[in-house]
Amino acid sequence: MGCQYFDDPCDHGADTFTIAIPKVTFGRGCLREAGARASGLGMTRVAVFTDPFLRDSAYLDTVLDSLKQAGLDAAVFDEITIEADDASVARGADFIATGNFDGVVSVGGGSVMDTAKAAMVYGLYPSGDFLDYFAPPLGAGKAIPGRLLPHLACPTTSGTGSECTSLSVLRINNLSTKFVLGNPLLLPQEALIDPVCCATLPAMVVASTGFDLLCHALECYTARAYTRWDKVDDPRKRPLIQGANPWSDLAARKALEIVGEFMERGVNNADDHQARDQLMWGASLAGMAFGNTGTHLGHALSYGVTHLMHDVTTEGYAVKSPFVPHGISVVVSAPAIFRYTAEAAPERHFEAAGYLQADLQGAGSADSGEALAKRIIELMQKTGVPNGLNEVGFGPADVPALAASTARQVRAIANSPRETNRVDIENIYASAMSY
């Protein structure tokens, strides 16, 4: 199959891909299964990770009651910031190291799940330097010495898909930027996805997480094909960012269809359970996709935004300035990005625009970048998110610094379908000021 994928010869490239996903349980009310599921994973004393906003929520109560009914002992850790950072991980690592736990249940958004994953790494295998387990060039690329604890991940937002990935995205405070800790050991064993959790989310949170899900799916579907990456001799070294592949295509395609049909409804009407349930399912599908593909320029350029943001807040988030939520930091550059990448994979961009319900009347694959960009802009405007970099506090003078920051995301940039250098990144940022 590999040699036919993307009609690409694979004489010198990878001819094999690996898929890793957790056992997934999805449905309204399924948080009540937390005790049975944790018990099934062999847990007896559980570290429950959550955040201060969910500490008194009905969702956490449901999970704690279920653990108790299953006869499990639980202790709660909630000292997690809304954007997971190394300080939250250090506190969580202490909690793991001293708590005598045999399992972890995380209840929250991406920050909570990502903190839980990394806290196990540093709690069980302390490291002299926090960056030791991160990939070069930022980190030392050291192997995590052994297994982590079993992890049952319970997402409460419809965006990150972290419950289905081997990744932890963390802000490194002294570098003021985010980097990805990726390792197959970080994959949760089970995910418990209860869309009831989305019913009370503010519209802007649904919009931000929805655009995160959209970009996960879109970046997967348009990523460089796995057949174009170098073959690895040692299968244990096959990278998580392995490029587009037939499995991820399936999940990304369905996730794009869900966004195309339900995004506007889900953001603009909290009572539209069908739409919000679908977005929750779409987020998990997109997580299953990008966890086995990697993202590309959308996410790479978002890290420049969150690194250099200043004096900006976002409606719907109780976080002081500067703060741009992850999904918005990604989507503000997305229309400019897909206008740029389309020429390298026009058919893929055209198909993606169709899945998102773009108006393709009279259009052909040569118009795919514009059609896709227009549809993303339409969704941005109908859901009230910032209309480009200008509205999150950036101007043309910021472009060189944004590009310099983003250039550190080496592997994600290389996962773009189109060869991309620093000047290209500057041009994309310059085109993403407003739409």
Interface residues toward Fe ion, by CB under 5 A: 212
Q: What are phi and psi of 169, to 5 degrees?
A: -100, 120
Query: 355 CB contacts (<8 Å, ≥6 apart)?
Result: 253, 256, 257, 260
Q: Which is nearer to Fe ion, 227 or 406 (CB)?
A: 406
Distance in Å, CB of 110 to Fe ion, minimum: 7
Q: How far is the CB of 153 from Fe ion (least distance, A)?
A: 16
Distance in Å, CB of 100 to Fe ion, minimum = 34
Q: How far apart are CA 23 and CA 164, in angstroms?
A: 9
Q: How far is the CB of 365 from Fe ion (least distance, A)?
A: 27
Q: Which two tokens stand for residue 398?
A: 């910021």
Shortest distance, position 433 Cβ to Fe ion, whole Å: 22
Compare residues 70 and 334 and give the one whose CB is closer to Fe ion.
Answer: 334
Q: Cβ of residue 64: shortest distance to Fe ion, in angstroms?
A: 28
Burial 326-357 (b: 16+ CB within 10 A, else e): bbbbbbbbbbbbbbbbbebbbebbbbbbbbbb
CB of 69 vs Fe ion, minimal distance in Å: 35
**In one letter, which amino acid is 89?**
V
CB of 321 to Fe ion, least distance (A): 22
Residue 283 Cβ vs Fe ion, minimum distance, rounded to whole Å: 10
Q: Give 31 or 220: the residue with its C-beta nearer to Fe ion.
A: 220
In the numeric block, which tokens belong to residue 424? 């290209």
Residue 320 DSSP one-character state: P
Q: d(Cα 80, Cα 349) in Å, to the nearest integer?
A: 37
> Given the complex with Fe ion, which of 70 and 214 has the nearer CB atom?
214
Nearer to Fe ion, 212 or 264 (CB): 212
User: Which is closer to Fe ion, CB of 86 or CB of 212?
Assistant: 212
Contact 403, 308 (CB under 8 A): no
Least CB distance to Fe ion at residue 212 (A) = 4
Q: How far does CA 435 lie from the centroid of its chain? A: 24
Residue 296 Cβ, how far from Fe ion at the closest point, in Å?
A: 12
> How far is 135 from 116, CA to CA, in rounded Å?
19
Which helix (H) or strand (E) covers residue 214, if one does?
Answer: helix 203-222
Q: Which is nearer to Fe ion, 157 or 227 (CB)?
A: 157
Return the structure tokens found at 168: 């932890």
Measured from the CB atom, the residue of 245 and 329 that comes closer to Fe ion is 329
Structure tokens at 74: 């639980």
**Which residue's Cβ has the minimum distance to Fe ion?**
212
Nearer to Fe ion, 78 or 212 (CB): 212
Q: Which long-range contacts (CB under 8 A, 24 or more apart) does 390-395 make?
A: 390/433, 390/434, 391/332, 391/434, 392/305, 392/309, 392/312, 392/324, 392/328, 392/329, 392/332, 393/309, 393/310, 393/311, 393/312, 393/322, 394/305, 394/308, 394/309, 394/429, 394/433, 395/433
What is the rounded distance in angstroms from the CA atom of residue 334 to the CA atom of residue 132?
Answer: 32
Count of beta carbons in the 10 Å neighbourhood of residue 246: 13
Pick the closer one to Fe ion by CB: 32 or 408: 408
Nearest to 201 by CA among 261, 268, 153, 264: 268
CB of 326 closer than 8 Å to CB of 208: yes
Name which of 89 and 334 has its Cβ closer to Fe ion.
334
Nearest one of 306, 256, 245 to 286, comparing CA atoms: 256
